[in-house]
Chain A
Amino acid sequence: MVELSGNLLFIAFILYLVATLFFGGSIKQKKDLNDTKTTNKWGKIAVFLTIIGFISQLGYFIIRWIVAGHAPVSNMFEFTTFFGMALVGAFIVIYFIYRTTLLGLFTMPVAILVIAYASMFPRDISPLIPSLQSYWLYIHVTTAAIGEAILAISFAAGLIYLVKAIDQTKSTKKTFWLEFVMFCLVTVIGFVVVSSVFAGMGYHEKFNWVDKSGNQAQIEYTMPALTGPHEGKLLTKDGFKPWAEMPAFINAKKLNTVIWSVAAGIVLYGLIRLIIRKRIGSMLKPLVKNIKLDFVDEISYRSVLIGFPVFTLGALIFAMIWAQVAWSRFWGWDPKEVWALITWLFYAAFMHLRLSKGWHGEKSAWLAVIGFAIIMFNLVAVNLVIAGLHSYAGS
């Protein structure tokens, strides 16, 4: 059963990849992307594959739920794959409102990256500690993820807007930041590549080290340690000797992973630039030639409008209900909670700026990008770095 569910996830992943190629094809074929009545054959196939992939991933989700006895949203791998699925689902919904395949070309790669990223975490089915044994938890986590996914669509649309609107003939602050966004996406690939490569090699090295409270402990690295643990002693023969030793309150192992990922990201990005000989933003520009700016602007804003209430319900209201039942208080200023509040405040500010200050178009697109960055920060950094009640232990 577990294997079947894993296979379904893999199939979904492959289908998403293939669908992306077809989305690419549909752009080339089509003259007017704003004309909603005519999705061409490529586009139709792409959407079809996306839906089949989504169903396959739903199968993974349901089977894993049955096996585990609880909704599979309880560790980093499970939650993040669910987020990827929600992203695809949100795209399908928005697609049927606006019928533009270009949105798929920008959303699907993000979903693929999210799922690939998720797969780098331990995939064991984990038991739930008592506070997590509540159906309010599932309701809270799934609704929050769906809300975030819909908000992420506004990022994809915002990206299309920026790629089209920003003048690539000269180098400006705007081109720099757009490239920075692209670089971040490439860095996720970097993380996936280094993780997979070292996992494929079966790389391991062990250290004895001294933790914050002065206790001896052992830690196992799965990548060569560039940053070693506090007072670390390498136990593995022929293990990689760290370049630098970290103080005890820094998690040297995670920092090491970050360094490797960024390094891989830089190499990959450099290679891409060498091959295409221009900015990534500039390479993507022909793809968005036929879309109207105010059309993507509206998709972006509409996604915020649809996503904001869902996010509020899931990440704040349901979270409060669960907290009230589990921890006896509906709000505890836990870092994850605070970051949900920050996300919420940010999108509230976004909507006010748009409605009252007339921040349409490019400004609004940048805001959509920042909003997504905040969501990703909450998903990645807060879980892994700022440990709190919500941090998924051990993963």
Chain B
Amino acid sequence: MKDVKCECGHVNPHGTVLCEACGKILVEEENEKQLLDMRYEGSARRSQIYQKTVVDKVWNFFSSVKVGVWLIIITLIASILGTILPQKMYINLPPEVYYEKEYGWFGKLYYQLGFHDLYGSWWYLLLIAMIGISLVICSLDRVVPLYKALKAQRVTRHEGFLKRQRVFGASHNVDQRDIETVKQHLIQKHYKVREENGDLLAEKGRFSRWGPYVNHVGLIIFLFGAMLRFIPGMYVNENLWVREGETALVPETGEKFYVHNNKFILEHYDKEKNKTFEKALDRAGNVVKNYQSNVVLYQRSGEKIPGEKPKLEKVKEYKIRVNHPLEFEGYSIYQSSFRSEMDSMTFALINKKTEKSFGELTINLRTPKEKYDLGNGYSVKILNYFPDFEFAENGEPSTKSRVPNNPAFIFRMTAPDKPKGETSFVAIRQTIEPFGNNTYKMAFKRIGTTNVSGFTVRKDSSIWVIIFGGILFMIGVIQGAYWNHRRIWVQNKNGDVWIAAHTNKNWYGLKREIEKVLEDTKLKMPEDQLQREQKDKEGV
């Protein structure tokens, strides 16, 4: 590939449209256009030079803004599809049941197409990945040539370049003092003015040209950060249920941290106390004001010895509330839900006929005792306990889990008149006497409940990458959107003074600025050549 030497002496890379230094048009076809395409300063981009190998083809595909925009539009439409019905994480039934039950054939189809988990589907992730690749390649393709072209530009520009700028005009018989005035005005307007044999180039806001690149880099870093959480250890997201009064190991902390739940608190708004909300509460009914768990965080001290109870050291007390997670060493514990759980059952031993009670006993459902002595020769033994009772397939009683959701017992009741004891099977709302008619009965009295706080334990080492990407993105968009790159050329050509101007956006503002700059001089306001064309079309 040959480099191109311009008549001004500057050597341009192959594929350059406008000489980087003087702006002379190097490609024949451009000469025929009325206005120059100033995007990327007519610099040589890889995508336009190399078009042979597979790598070139892939590069060219991803470096095209057209492809980029298509990717964005396709992602946009795909995202819409996912909002038609609730996504998998917002439903409370298995998806294969839920969609058909709630939305009929449409729901079934939605599920079969995989739209119930659209944002986690391989093709959605692929789309995002392709946007990422496109961002990287597209930016690389443009940023270096653009940088070179902007750096190499000379003050004096080629006639063809000036004439084909959108804002252009020539003034005859100019007083050179006017040029000095213009220069002063430009400096007042914070232009950087360079001078070369009486020609001026005033430029400002060049840095805004890097805005898109900065924001794209920010986006790439953001996407990269979001990807990091697939690396084990970078991202912890666990549920943790802790009963009131209990201490639990915080998962994924290397058995280092323990949390003790002192109390769970649920508060509602009170109409009487909050008069302001009275009407709204009348309409909405009960509204929750606060979910809170008062906890103590402990740290294990000393070595971990298997089989031994860990020694715990108190780190801090904290009230975990929604919006106020407990934070320590990169971990956060959030208040995410709660439930109330049965934790004890109280029975009375009674005579079935007389209903006389011989004492009560309270069974702790998590750690039931084997035998309860009621005195006077009365006692009750638990022969078998099913915390989550069901009849197994063979008809035998069994338990589904160790959580006391549906406790059932086999009791042996001993009394002075029944020294051998009577056996009774007791579950919620049913009593079976396997060996015939009993004299005694375990009468259900009440249940005791305890609150269980539901926490989310979260550690997100990638969050800093994501935050950094987000900040960089914001800097980039602001840089690109709130400033613009303006250049004004004031040059002596053939005894006249030519003024041309270019901006990457906000032409209207540029023109107003030129008007101001030309005040108090006899220089003619240059014309907007694009608008002239448009006017011809509009016929105004």
- Near B by CB (< 8 A), chain A positions 322-361 give 324-330, 332-335, 338-339, 341-342, 345-346, 348-349, 352-353, 355-357
Cβ of B481 and Cβ of A309 under 8 Å apart?
yes
Interface residues on A, range: 35 or more
In the complex, per-residue mask of A291-327: 1 if CB is within 8 Å of any chain B CB, else 0: 0111100100110011011001100010010001111
Contact of B322 among A126, A133, A302, A346 (CB under 8 A): A133
> Which one of A103-111, A280-288, A386-394 contacts B?
A386-394
CB pair B65–A356 under 8 Å, yes or no, is yes
Partner of A127, one of B68, B269, B470: B269
Does residue B447 face the partner (Cβ distance < 8 Å to A)?
A: no
Bound complex: CA A330 to CA B332 (Å)? 13
How far is B66's CA from A306's CA once the two chains are assembled, in angstroms?
Answer: 24
CA A126 to CA B87, docked complex, whole Å: 29
Contact of B506 among A134, A298, A338, A357 (CB under 8 A): A298
Is B401 in contact with chain A by the CB < 8 A criterion?
Answer: no
* Listed residue (B68, B321, B470) with the most chain A CB atoms within 10 angstroms of its CB: B470
B354 to chain A, nearest CB (A): 44
A129 to chain B, nearest CB (A): 6
How far apart are the CA atoms of A134 and B323 in the complex, in Å?
7
Chain B residues, CB < 8 A from A334: 90
Interface flags, B65-77, vs A, CB<8A=1, else 0: 1101100110110
Interface string of B259-294 (1 = CB under 8 A from A): 000000000010000101101110110011111000
Q: Roughly how many angstroms separate A388 CA and B66 CA in the complex, as a whole number?
A: 34
Residues of the A chain whose Cβ atoms lie less than 8 Å from the Cβ of B508: 98, 294-295, 298
Residue ID in chain B nearest A322 by CB atoms: B323
**Bound complex: CA A341 to CA B75 (Å):** 10
Assess whether A127 is in contact with B466, with CB atoms less than 8 Å apart: no
A345 and B323 in contact (CB under 8 A), knowing A124-B280, A249-B103, A332-B89?
Answer: no
Please determine whether B72 and A352 come into contact, CB atoms closer than 8 angstroms: yes
A212 lies within 8 A of chain B by Cβ: yes
Roughly how many angstroms separate A252 CA and B524 CA in the complex, as a whole number?
67
Across-interface contacts of B466 in A (CB, < 8 A): 330
Q: Is the pair A302, B287 in contact by a Cβ cutoff of 8 Å? A: no
One of B371-379, B471-479, B492-500 at the interface: B471-479
A131 within 8 Å of B (CB atoms): yes
**A68 interface residue per 8 A CB criterion:** yes
Complex interface bits, B88-130 against A, C-beta within 8 A gives 1, otherwise 0: 0110000000000011000000000000000100000000000
Binary interface profile of B, 503-540, with partner A (CB < 8 Å = 1, else 0)?
Answer: 00111110010000000000000001011001000100
Min Cβ gap B215→A in Å is: 9
Task: Determine if B506 and A302 form an interchain contact, defined as CB atoms under 8 angstroms apart.
Answer: yes
Q: Is the CB of B83 within 8 A of A348?
A: no
B396 to chain A, nearest CB (A): 34
Residues of B within 8 A of A341 (CB): 79
B392: CB under 8 A from chain A?
A: no
In the complex, what residue of chain A is closest to B277 when comparing beta carbons? A127
Question: Chain A 45-74 against B: per-residue CB contact (8 Å), 1 yes, 0 no?
Answer: 000000000000000000000011100000
Residue B13 CB within 8 A of the other chain: no
Enumerate B38-81 residues with CB–CB distance to A below 8 Å.
39, 65-66, 68-69, 72-73, 75-76, 79-80
Interface centre among B323, B531, B534 (most CB of A within 10 A): B323
Q: At the interface, yes or no: B407 with Cβ under 8 Å from chain A?
A: no
B15 within 8 A of A: no
Is B82 located at the chain interface by the 8 A CB criterion?
Answer: yes
List chain B residues, Cβ under 8 A from A270: none
CB within 8 Å for A357 and B65 given contacts A308-B477, A308-B481, A339-B83: yes
Chain B residues with CB under 8 Å of A317's CB are 470, 474
Residues on B with C-beta less than 8 A from A129 are 287-289
Tell me the minimal C-beta distance from B217 to chain A in angstroms. Answer: 15
A328 & B89 in contact (Cβ 8 Å cutoff): no
Q: Distance in Å from the Cβ of A107 to the closest Cβ of chain B?
A: 18
A202 part of interface (Cβ distance < 8 Å) = no
B72→A345 contact, CB < 8 A: yes
A185 within 8 A of B: no
Give the residue of B102, B289, B482 whose beta carbon is less than 8 angstroms from that of A249: B102
In the assembled complex, the Cα of A129 lies from the Cα of B288 at a distance in Å of 6
Q: Which chain B residues lie closer than 8 Å to A200 at the CB level?
A: none
A83-123 vs B, Cβ < 8 Å mask (1 yes, 0 no): 00000000000000010000000000000000000000010
* Cα–Cα distance between A159 and B287 once the two chains are bound (Å): 43
On whether the beta carbons of A130 and B322 are closer than 8 Å, the reply is yes
A382 at the B interface (CB under 8 A):
yes
Cβ–Cβ contact A67 & B80, under 8 A:
no
Q: Which partner residue on chain B sits nearest A326 by CB separation?
A: B323
Asked if B287 and A349 sit within 8 Å, CB to CB, the answer is no
Q: Judging by beta carbons under 8 Å apart, are A130 and B289 in contact?
A: yes
Whether B322 lies near A131 (C-beta < 8 A) is: yes
B68 in contact with A352 (CB, 8 Å): yes
Minimum CB–CB distance from A6 to chain B (whole Å) comes to 13
Q: Does A18 contact B (CB under 8 A)?
A: no
Q: Does B414 contact A (CB under 8 A)?
A: no
Q: Which chain A residues border B321 with CB–CB below 8 Å?
A: 130
A127 touches B274 (CB 8 A): yes
Once the chains bind, are B336 and A124 in contact (CB under 8 Å)? Answer: no
Closest residue of chain A to B282 (Cβ to Cβ) is A124
B195-230 CB contacts (< 8 Å) to partner A:
none
Which residues of A have CB within 8 Å of B279? 124-125
In the bound complex, do residue A309 and residue B474 qualify as a contact, i.e. CB atoms below 8 Å apart?
yes
Docked pose: A352 CA to B119 CA in angstroms: 24
B534 touches A313 (CB 8 A): no
Task: Give the complex CA separation of A281 and B458 in angstroms.
Answer: 55
Which residues of B sit under 8 angstroms from A346, Cβ to Cβ?
A: 76
> B331 to nearest A CB, angstroms?
11
**Is B438 engaged at the interface, CB distance under 8 Å to the other chain?**
no
> Is the CB of B325 closer than 8 A to any CB of chain A?
yes
Q: In the assembled complex, which residues on chain A have CB atoms less than 8 Å from the CB atom of B509?
A: 298
Pair B277/A126 contact, Cβ less than 8 Å = yes
A36, A98, A127, A334 — most chain B CB neighbours (10 Å): A127
A306 and B83 within 8 A (CB): no
CB < 8 Å: which of B269, B287, B325, B531 contacts A325?
B325
Closest to B81 in A: A338
Contacts of B463 in A (CB 8 A): 324, 330
Tell whether B334 is near chain A: CB-to-CB under 8 Å. Answer: yes
Having A133-B322, A309-B477, one finds 14 other A-B pairs with CB under 8 Å, namely: A124-B277, A125-B277, A294-B507, A294-B508, A306-B482, A328-B237, A329-B458, A333-B87, A333-B119, A338-B83, A338-B119, A349-B73, A352-B72, A388-B86
The 10 closest A-B pairs by CB, nearest first: A130-B322, A126-B280, A124-B280, A356-B65, A124-B279, A328-B334, A305-B481, A335-B83, A127-B277, A298-B508
Give me 25 A-to-B residue pairs in the complex whose CB atoms sit less than 8 angstroms apart, sorted by A's number: A124-B277, A124-B280, A125-B276, A125-B280, A126-B284, A127-B277, A129-B288, A133-B322, A249-B102, A294-B530, A298-B509, A302-B506, A306-B482, A326-B322, A328-B336, A333-B119, A338-B79, A342-B76, A346-B76, A353-B69, A357-B65, A382-B83, A386-B84, A388-B86, A394-B283
